Amino acid sequence: MALTGLRISEFQDLVENFRLNWNEYLHIRHPDRERKLGGGRIGQLKTVEEKLLFALFYLKAYPTFDVLAFIVQFHRTRACQQVLMLLPVLEKTLGRKLVLPERKISSVEEFLRKFPDAKDVLGDGS
């Protein structure tokens, strides 16, 4: 599956473990919950499979939150919140920490520390 980097069978193998970890996350996040799980507002990612696909797609394509929000028809803030909720669940499901590239380099010195072999740098301000 080009969207996630996984074959459909690999994706399906992850679903049940992801579901268990998602439900555990919900219990930890809301320990004094009065409503049963599933009560309340239904989000745009309705199923566990949609949540898993969303997280895997984010990791595969690594779009900005603006682009991700456009693709899934969320507000950019909601796209960020979903990623922040789902990545720890995915990390637990996979049994390893996922390392993402840093989004910002705030100075020339920081850039040179991270990329000491860089000779030329071009910036596009348009």
- Return d(Cα 82, Cα 79) in angstroms, integer: 5
- Return d(Cα 125, Cα 44) in angstroms, integer: 35
Q: Could you give the 3-state DSSP secondary structure of residue 51?
A: helix
**pTM for the predicted model, two decimal places:** 0.71
Structure tokens at 37: 């799980």
What per-residue confidence (pLDDT) applies to 114? 82
At position 18, the amino acid (one-letter code) is F
Q: Is the separation of the CB atoms in 98 and 59 below 8 Å?
A: yes
Per-residue pLDDT of the chain (126 residues; tens, 9 = 90+): 788 888 899 999 999 999 999 989 987 876 676 666 666 667 789 899 999 999 999 999 999 999 999 999 989 999 999 999 999 999 999 887 665 556 678 888 888 888 888 887 777 776
What per-residue confidence (pLDDT) applies to 37? 61
Cα-trace Rg, the chain: 18
- Return d(Cα 68, Cα 74) in angstroms, integer: 8
What per-residue confidence (pLDDT) applies to 65? 93
- Return d(Cα 72, Cα 57) in angstroms, integer: 11
What per-residue confidence (pLDDT) applies to 22? 92
Lookup result for tokens 């199923």: 47
